[in-house]
Amino acid sequence: VKGPKTDENSIQLIVETLREIGKRPVIFNKPVAGYLVTRLQVAFQREVYWLLDNDYLSPQDVDEAAIWGLALRMLVVGVCQRIDFGGLDLSAKVTAMSNQSTPVDYLPLRLNDLVRQGALGVKTGRGFYDYKGKSEAEVCRERDIRLLKLLKVLQETNIAGPILF
């Protein structure tokens, strides 16, 4: 996110540096608070918290559906093209019918309860999941190995990203 006084040469240097280490940066067209992925995650997490707090699903159910449905599709086509494949007309109808939308100011109950209990996630060994005595380093190492394997496959096959004609 660049500001109105950000030097364009600085932006280009940062973009080139990030690309050299395998990142794929995007630059906002105009200033906004926060970064793209963080903004998307906040909206996504608000919905997850609401579903969990109202006992619609368990954390395991949410993760299973997200990994094998949403995330898998987005690896191949991204966010906007996923909407294209579903049909913008269908997306418009679903959006118009959404009378049970989670309020933007929703405060997650379960999340705040876990924080009060000291269950802060991987760093304390328990959050939505119990990491069964594994250290933070062990859990992060397992995650990182899986991410690196996935990244290697994605780079070798060039499978990720929108399908452009």
Residue in 48, 51, 26 with CA at minimum distance from that of residue 37? 26
Tens of pLDDT, residues 72-125:
888 888 888 888 988 999 999 888 877 677 888 899 999 999 999 999 999 999
Tens of pLDDT, residues 143-162:
999 999 988 888 888 777 77
Residue in 160, 140, 141 with CA at minimum distance from that of residue 150? 160
Q: What is the pTM of this model?
A: 0.80
CA angle 125–127–128, rounded 5-degree value:
135
Amino acid symbol at 67: I
Count of other CB atoms within 10 angstroms of residue 147? 10
